[in-house]
Chain A
Amino acid sequence: MIAGRVSVTPRALESVARGVAAGHLGVEASRVRVQLSDKQGLLAVAIAAPLRSAPFTGADAVGLVTQSEHARANIARDVATLVGAQVGTVSLRVTGIDIVETRRVL
């Protein structure tokens, strides 16, 4: 093994968390705000971001709360995998809803 060590700055970790959150919430990374902190030795992720959603019509509309719960779980899993750290808490504050018209495919 080569002497020395790899260190990862908090900024880099935040960028990773921001990217992961943006992917799961379906919004641009620039609109996602992420804060990392420590919670009893575990990583605590606090996210403030808008949520992307289809128009609120139709029978297959998924509840917003369910959707954000899924996003939270997926963010926790992916951040833990990418960073290699145990994630203790992920708190998500939804700052808005992006309603996106899905174009009908003919």
Chain B
Amino acid sequence: MTDNTYRRILRRERFRSRSASVSIALGLVALGAAYVAVEWVLSFLGQRALLMSPQAAVDGVNSPSVWGVTAAGTAIALGLVVLLLALIPGRRARHTLPHDRLAIVVDDAVLASAIGRAARTEASVPADRVRTTVSARRALVAVTPSSGIAVDKPSVQAATERLAADLAPVPPLRLAVSVLPSGVVGS
């Protein structure tokens, strides 16, 4: 049971919730439906329409005016936005770490600093000479060497990969180490 609960919690933490966009979309749909219903009842009772009677709306569709086209365009744009919100995974900048008794969620910035630390220890450069960026499936490590002291790129790659293998973040990270061509005086 806990396993399932944890899996669900971790998933919720990794992805953005859609409840806000869903409530807004449903609210808009409800308002639209209510308006159509009101117009229909008014025309049924023979009253004056609020904006446009159902008959006028149907005529508008058959012979579209500028306003009709504009409204349709807006509706299409809105529809695309809603579709995107629904289809895009909505990933947050977080990873989860496997643990048998805890559900661990780590911000990507924290992972980046851990990987950067491993890289700078291996390359023996000061902390500010390593830039690490972590995205969902990739970690980029850029090392600025000290002038005249070559950085062993394969060993930095190996050290960071070892750390990534130890942590085993989900989704897994592919490490890319690069050593900048020009260095900085001092070490």
Residues of A within 8 A of B (CB): 5-10, 13, 36-44, 80, 83-88
CB of B12, distance to nearest CB on chain A (Å): 38
Number of A-B contacts defined by CB within 8 Å: 53
> Of residues 119 to 150 in B, which have CB atoms within 8 Å of A's CB atoms?
121, 124, 126, 145-150
CB of B187, distance to nearest CB on chain A (Å): 5
CB of B110, distance to nearest CB on chain A (Å): 20
Q: Decide yes or no: A13 and B145 within 8 Å by CB, A40-B181, A41-B150, A41-B181 being known contacts.
A: no
- B186: interface (CB < 8 Å): yes
- Extra A-B contacts (4), CB below 8 Å, given A40-B181, A41-B182, A85-B146: A9-B186, A36-B147, A38-B147, A42-B183
Task: Return the contact of A87 from the options B124, B148, B150, B187 (Cβ within 8 A).
Answer: B148
Q: Measured between alpha carbons, how far is A38 from B183 in the docked complex, in Å?
A: 6
Q: Measured between alpha carbons, how far is A6 from B124 in the docked complex, in Å?
A: 9
Asked if A8 contacts B150 (CB within 8 A), the reply is no
In the assembled complex, which residues on chain A have CB atoms less than 8 Å from the CB atom of B147? 36-39, 41-44, 85
Residue of B124, B146, B182, B185 with most partner-chain A CB within 10 A? B185
Nearest residue, chain B, Cβ from A88: B148
- B184: interface (CB < 8 Å): yes
Closest 8 pairs between A and B when the two form their complex, measured CB to CB:
A85-B148, A43-B148, A10-B186, A38-B147, A86-B148, A43-B147, A10-B185, A36-B185
Q: Measured between alpha carbons, how far is A42 from B150 in the docked complex, in Å?
A: 8
In the assembled complex, which residues on chain A have CB atoms less than 8 Å from the CB atom of B121? 5
Asked if A41 contacts B183 (CB within 8 A), the reply is yes
A-B contact pairs, 19 of them (CB 8 A): A5-B124, A7-B187, A10-B185, A13-B186, A36-B185, A37-B185, A38-B184, A39-B147, A40-B181, A40-B182, A41-B145, A41-B181, A43-B185, A80-B148, A84-B149, A85-B146, A85-B147, A85-B148, A86-B148
CB of A49, distance to nearest CB on chain B (Å): 19
CB of A20, distance to nearest CB on chain B (Å): 14
In the assembled complex, which residues on chain A have CB atoms less than 8 Å from the CB atom of B184? 38
In the assembled complex, which residues on chain A have CB atoms less than 8 Å from the CB atom of B149? 84-86
CB of B177, distance to nearest CB on chain A (Å): 15
Task: Return the contact of B187 from the options A8, A39, A88 (Cβ within 8 A).
Answer: A8
Q: Measured between alpha carbons, how far is A13 from B147 in the docked complex, in Å?
A: 11
Q: Measured between alpha carbons, how far is A84 from B146 in the docked complex, in Å?
A: 11
Q: Measured between alpha carbons, how far is A42 from B185 in the docked complex, in Å?
A: 9
Q: Measured between alpha carbons, how far is A13 from B186 in the docked complex, in Å?
A: 7
In the assembled complex, which residues on chain A have CB atoms less than 8 Å from the CB atom of B181? 40-41
Asked if B126 contacts A7 (CB within 8 A), the reply is yes
In the assembled complex, which residues on chain B have CB atoms less than 8 Å from the CB atom of A83? 148
In the assembled complex, which residues on chain A have CB atoms less than 8 Å from the CB atom of B182? 38-41
